[in-house]
Amino acid sequence: MPSPIPSPLPLPAVRRVPLTAPFKWLALGWRDLWRCGAWSLLHGLVLAAFGALLVLAAGDRFWLLAGAFSGFLVVAPVLATSLYALSRALEHGEPVGARTIVQTWTRWQHARFAAQGGYWNLVRFGVLLSLAGTGWVLTSAALITVLAPQPVHTPMDFVRHVMLAPGGHLFELWLTLGALMSAPLFASSVVSMPLLLDRRVDVLQAVLTSWRTVLTNPGALALWAALIMGLTLLGMATLLVGLIVAVPWLGHASWHAYRALVDASNLPERLPPEGEA
């Protein structure tokens, strides 16, 4: 007797949003940022410090620095997980503080959570994005090293020998390759991490939902991607100081993007078991 065909994974409904919706998400994220205060800004401070370490580690190898920061943007949705948790707590009328942040990063270790798929899904997805980021770092470094007409060691070298190289198309190739690698990653992660945090779903369900969201709202999410990139680059251009505000702002706004785009009411909520911290 043939085995029955497995039923498709239950996926949440995806809503259509207006093209200008990302500006509303930024406004709501800005509100959450200042409602959480120091707890939000602490995330930005940690990530700005991490960026400074990248600069020190790269030294004069500017090609490595460019690739590392590109990879950093790939894994940013994972690093913002506790910012989503802070916004969710505000939405539920719960107090926010150190306990919310600590629980977000430690609850998946509990056996009862692991038995239900739990927060290991956050870890698995984070590892996948980290591998993708590492791949882009290596690809970017190889491209610049092999094809640049002169060695690239500093930002000005990059401008002269890559961006403004006469008769060459290395910069266009670099941008195109970056876009080809980042577009599917953005589509896979735009709502995945908030959904994994909020509902009992696995990584495949979260990624499929994220892709459906992008395909349903291509214009709004293209604008959202541009705003994320613009604010992040602005934060980097201010010697990383601007990231202290930009990172938590975008993290909180991403939670509101998820809430506007996805109706996950048909899926069980991810809550800690009774009596468990």
The pLDDT score that the predictor gives to residue 155 is 66
131 pLDDT tier (thresholds 50, 70, 90) = confident
Mean pLDDT (the chain, rounded):
81
Does a structural domain hold residue 209?
Answer: yes
Q: What average pLDDT does this structure show over 29-37?
A: 96
Return d(Cα 132, Cα 137) in angstroms, integer.
Answer: 9
258 pLDDT tier (thresholds 50, 70, 90) = very high
Does a structural domain hold residue 196?
Answer: yes
Chain segment 216-246, per-residue pLDDT in tens: 999 999 999 999 988 988 888 888 899 999 9
pTM of the model as a whole: 0.82
Opening angle at CA 81, ends 78 and 87, nearest 5:
150
Chain segment 147-195, per-residue pLDDT in tens: 887 877 776 777 777 777 776 688 788 778 877 777 888 898 899 989 9
By the 8 A CB rule, do 51 and 242 touch? no
Q: What is the largest CA-CA distance in the chain?
A: 69
| pLDDT of 273 above 50 | no
Which residues does 150 contact at the CB level (< 8 Å), separation at least 6? 157, 160, 161
Count of structural domains, the chain: 1
The pLDDT score that the predictor gives to residue 71 is 59
The pLDDT score that the predictor gives to residue 201 is 87
The pLDDT score that the predictor gives to residue 103 is 82
More confident residue, 128 or 39: 39
Q: What average pLDDT does this structure show over 139-152?
A: 78
- Closest of 251, 208, 224, 203 to residue 88, by C-alpha: 251
202 pLDDT tier (thresholds 50, 70, 90) = confident
Residues of the domain holding 76: 16-261
Does a structural domain hold residue 267?
Answer: no
Chain segment 89-100, per-residue pLDDT in tens: 999 999 998 888
Chain segment 43-95, per-residue pLDDT in tens: 999 888 887 887 777 666 665 666 566 656 666 777 788 999 999 999 999 99
What are the Cα distances from residue 201, in Å, to 63, 120, 210, 268? Answer: 38, 11, 12, 8
Does a structural domain hold residue 57?
Answer: yes
Does a structural domain hold residue 8?
Answer: no
Does a structural domain hold residue 275?
Answer: no
Does a structural domain hold residue 201?
Answer: yes
What are the Cα distances from residue 246, in Å, to 10, 79, 179, 243, 254? Answer: 34, 13, 22, 5, 12
Does a structural domain hold residue 210?
Answer: yes
Q: How far is CA 182 from the centre of its chain?
A: 11
Q: What average pLDDT does this structure show over 139-147?
A: 78
The pLDDT score that the predictor gives to residue 143 is 81
More confident residue, 124 or 226: 226
| pLDDT of 2 above 50 | no
| Residue 47: HSE in the Cβ half-sphere, 13 Å Cα cutoff | 30
